[in-house]
Amino acid sequence: MPLQWAYAQNGLAIALAELAQRQKSPAHMEEALMEEALICLRHAVEVYQQSNERYRWPIAQRRMSNKESCPSH
């Protein structure tokens, strides 16, 4: 597993863990954490695709192609 993939996977795990721990926080904080999780997920998908491994996850690919739902870094 490439080092970049490990970093992207770790970033996603951290963002999702923070989101899960802040269930009682104001809605705007949860929204910001979810946005960060989407950014991490998009980066993870890009790194995985660049590693020349087969990637099949049609739902994620559809969401990643919609630039409005996942802001780019």
pLDDT in tens, 25-55: 666 666 777 777 777 777 777 777 766 555 4
Residues near 28 by beta carbon (within 8 Å), at least 6 away in sequence:
none
**Calpha distance 11→3 (Å, rounded):** 12
- Predicted TM-score (pTM) of the model is 0.40
Question: What percent of the chain shows pLDDT beyond 90?
Answer: 0
Residue 47 lies in a domain: yes
Distance of CA 9 to the CA centre of its chain: 8
**Domain count of the chain?**
1
Helices (H), 1-73: 3-21, 27-50, 58-65
| Domain ranges, residue 42 | 3-65
Residue 70 lies in a domain: no
Residue 72 lies in a domain: no
